[in-house]
Amino acid sequence: MNFSVAGAHWATYAGKDFTDRQRIKRKAQRWADNYRKLPAGERTAILEALLSTHADPP
């Protein structure tokens, strides 16, 4: 392949079947809703931690 399998993944296709994708979509929406409710300082700190974690290879 001319691309990394792990790197060529869209969130739309996360999950093994429809039910799993639906669960992931709902979970992501819940997290986004809770994130929006946080004060700006907390949102910034959490975003920084998530981005640094996401940037590190497993």
pTM (predicted TM-score): 0.70
**What kind and span of H or E run contains 22?**
helix 18-37
Helix (H, G, I), strand (E, B) or coil at 51: helix
Dihedral sign (CA 13, 15, 17, 21): negative
pLDDT band of 54, cuts 50, 70, 90: confident
How many whole angstroms from its chain centre is CA 40? Answer: 19
The pLDDT > 90 percentage for the chain reads: 59
Query: Is pLDDT at 43 greater than 90 in this prediction?
Result: yes
> Measuring CA to CA, which residue among 40, 35, 37, 39 is closest to residue 50?
35
Question: What are 58's two structure tokens?
Answer: 């497993």
Domain edges within the chain:
16-52
Question: What does the pLDDT average to over 16-23?
Answer: 92
